[in-house]
Amino acid sequence: MLADLKDGGEEFQCAQLIDRHPKVRQWVRNLDTAPCGFALPTSRGRFFADFVAELVDGRVALLEYKGAHLLSDPYEIEKSQVGALWAQASAGQAVFGWLTRQQDGKSLAQQLDRVLA
């Protein structure tokens, strides 16, 4: 287990896809402890996405993996909106990905391709 990343779990599989993605130069598991992690503000405090990646084109990717049981939770929806707003305000320097096992008929790998395009 690396920073609460359980071997073989869905989040672990997401990390493997990030690690192998040709557009990712390097990535880290985003820690939710000060002063290490990168956080965005929310109505309840701070949101630490699961992964931060540097892309080969110089952009930064903030990536959050969510299990299906959390997709309709209002606070999780807020975090998704905050991440999208952060990326939109970056003038093209950052992307945000809200990733799940399946989303709009797309696999996790396809979602990651779309976010990092």
Going from N- to C-terminal start, the domains of the chain cover: 10-116
Q: How far apart are the first and last CA of the chain?
A: 30
In this prediction, residue 47 carries a pLDDT of 93
Return the SS3 of 47: strand
Number of neighbouring beta carbons within 10 Å of residue 114: 14
pTM, 2 dp: 0.89
**Domain 10-116, CATH class in plain words:** alpha beta
pLDDT at 75: 92
Question: Which residues contact residue 101 at a Cβ distance below 8 angstroms, ignoring those fewer than 6 apart?
Answer: 10, 67, 68, 107, 108
**Per-residue confidence of the chain (117 residues) as pLDDT tens digits?**
345 556 668 899 999 999 999 999 999 999 887 677 899 999 999 999 999 999 999 999 999 999 877 778 889 999 999 999 999 999 999 999 999 998 889 999 999 999 999
